[in-house]
Amino acid sequence: MTAPLNRVIAEVTERIVARSEPTRSAYLRKIAAAASEGPARGALGCSNFAHGYAGCVGEDKQALRELRGANVAIVSSYNDMLSAHQPLAEYPDWLKDSIRAAGGVAQFAGGVPAMCDGITQGRAGMEMSLFSREVVAMATGVALAHDMFDAALLLGVCDKIVPGLMIAALSFGHLPTMLVPAGPMASGLPNNEKSRIRQLFAEGRADRKNLLDAESASYHSPGTCTFYGTANSNQLVMEVMGMHLPGSSFVAPNTDLRRALTEHAGRRVLEMTRDGGEFTPVGELVDERVVVNGVVALLATGGSTNHTMHLVAIAAAAGIKLTWDDFSDLSSVVPLLTRVYPNGSADINHFHAAGGVPFLVGQLLDAGLVHRDVRTVAGFGLDRYRQQPELTDGELRWVDAPAASGDESVLRPHTKPFAADGGLRVLHGNLGNAVIKVSAVKPEHRVVLAPARVFTDQAQFSAAFRAGEFTGDMVVVLRNQGPRANGMPELHGLTPSLGVLQDKGFKVALVTDGRMSGASGKIPAAIQVTPEAAAGGLLAKVRDGDMVRLDAENGVLEVLVGDAELASREVVDGPPSDDEWVGTGRELFTALRRAVGPADQGAVAFGTMDQDEKRVEVPR
């Protein structure tokens, strides 16, 4: 029996609606003004219009010239270096054929860059990673700016790509838009074994060949990496927000079902256009209820903490003001229903086989934890997402998902969760606000009171670890890693070493204004500390030996030093200057580094009124 909407879910949604009313209303007026009764290309001058279809051939050119049928923009993050995006190579041709057969036209409007944190991890290129979201958004904006299109299909998968595509799509919110996923690679080396080899390497008990063999067995073929990081969190959250076709997120690439789903996306987006009978502008689809559904899905699955920024930024692009306290309050009532690495040993393929998103959505609906009365790319109502796709005699259809989980060690019903809450919490205190993910942190490790060891880059910490300097409890403070300092790199490389120290029996924790995604794992990590050190945050004044309290149970993050003492301290280090922040293309991103807002407002570089009021100059 389906429960009524949970009281806290309703209350959080209502306060988001109230908080967002001025900006949301302005946004809806903007996209209404951008919409037109017919194809916008019909209003182009003859020279402009001729430029828009000069590259087409045959019937496509004639259809565009005569304004027959809808024209769909295809924007893709395809490249053949990154496994997650390699399968996208054939998608534009599939989509063009399916759209043409359904009476429309599709044009490849533009490509966007796709950056992999897995490759740039620990390298200078990682300092451009977060800003690549803005580049993707701007590149998508350029692609859609020609007034040639009635709808858009956006092809992308990984970390910053999907949020960038969504931010741009909402900037063109009058267009019906659908995201088209690519699916995960086949399962490789079990995650527990991969983690074991990484920790042995950190201890010096495995060599580079051992490590490379393990990593190559883990990341081994086209498709998304199979752990539950930001890429797969993107896919799951977008599906529950109704931006993917039901049950499509984790269908493997290079399969008949994957192709059938991709081709159906082309047919379906035509139905969402003004002439298709189910006009569904993306800016109207993504409302406050849909945003809350996305947050709930993230929490119920222990998804990537990066989405505490990305979902805030996506919401802001639709005029919706989402806060970290909204995440925290929702987490208090959303049970953890999945165990996928790094929160367990299973990978995303095991999750999909156990029932995947359709089973998850059914449980969330039955528990009254998501809004069912929402618009989706499949039509009205989230109940559509209880279904899963299948091919029968070559025909694509949707059928009801199994009523029971296929593996309760991976995916559970809401009546038997892994934990009573979503495991994502917000910390407050004199060091500022921070996010912590505790779904993989044992209860006995969630409160740490210990002296600080302060570092300003990962290399310093790693050198101290190798030198055997850590012989007791400590809170590692890694500062000047925020968006305005150096682009907010992910700090995955810290986890194996901190895990070694915790396994030795030491109380350890991490406090940083940088990012960790889902990689913090079993270590308590207060991340994305805001305000960051480079923007006047108190993190800049913490010194070695200061006692720091990280209390994930009570939501506290503080340094136990008196206000007068802290006020009198000089800042002894800072972020790199513009002259120092060079190499690997970083100097090209200086303008974004100067413009970026705080993490709790999405770390957006495009600027909003709220951000502009709170900006602090980065030392140069």
**546-562 per-residue burial string, b: 16 or more CB within 10 A, e: under 16:** bebbbbbeeebbbbebe
Under 8 Å between Cβ of 408 and 416: yes
Q: Which amino acid is at 270?
A: L
Q: DSSP letters of 282-320?
A: HHHHS-HHHHHHHHHHHHHTT--TTHHHHHHHHHHHTT-
Find, among 581, 454, 456, 620, the residue nearest to 128 by Cα: 581
* 112: helix, strand or coil: coil
Residues 539 and 598: their CA atoms lie apart, in Å, by: 14
Residues 61 and 518: their CA atoms lie apart, in Å, by: 47
Residues 493 and 217: their CA atoms lie apart, in Å, by: 19
Q: Is the dihedral of CA 462, 464, 466, 468 positive or negative?
A: negative
Under 8 Å between Cβ of 51 and 44: no
Q: DSSP letters of 454-521?
A: EESSHHHHHHHHHTT---S-EEEEE-S-SHHHHS--B-TTHHHHHHHHHHTT--EEEEESSB-TTTTT
Find, among 481, 497, 500, the residue nearest to 434 by Cα: 481
Residues 239 and 303: their CA atoms lie apart, in Å, by: 14
* 156: helix, strand or coil: coil
* 60: helix, strand or coil: helix
* 400: helix, strand or coil: strand
Tokens of 589: 């991103």
Instruction: For residue 278, give every residue at least 6 positions away whose Cβ sits within 8 Å of its Cβ, in sequence order, or none.
Output: 271, 272, 379
Residue 563: burial class (beta carbons within 10 Å; 0-12, 13-18, 19+): exposed
In degrees rounded to 5, what are phi and psi of residue 433? -105, 145
Confirm whether residue 46 is marked as ligand binding.
no
Under 8 Å between Cβ of 273 and 281: no
Q: Which helix (H) or strand (E) holds 110?
A: strand 105-111
Confirm whether residue 158 is marked as ligand binding.
yes
Helix runs in 145-253, H state only: 161-171, 191-202, 208-218, 230-240
Residue 102: burial class (beta carbons within 10 Å; 0-12, 13-18, 19+): middle
SS3 content of the chain, % helix, strand, coil (to 5): 45, 15, 40
Q: Which helix (H) or strand (E) holds 105?
A: strand 105-111
Residues 529 and 516: their CA atoms lie apart, in Å, by: 12
**Scanning the structure block, which residue is given the tokens 């150096």?**
486
Residue 41: burial class (beta carbons within 10 Å; 0-12, 13-18, 19+): buried
Going by the annotation, the residues of the binding site are: 158, 225
Annotation: binding site for [4Fe-4S] cluster: 158, 225
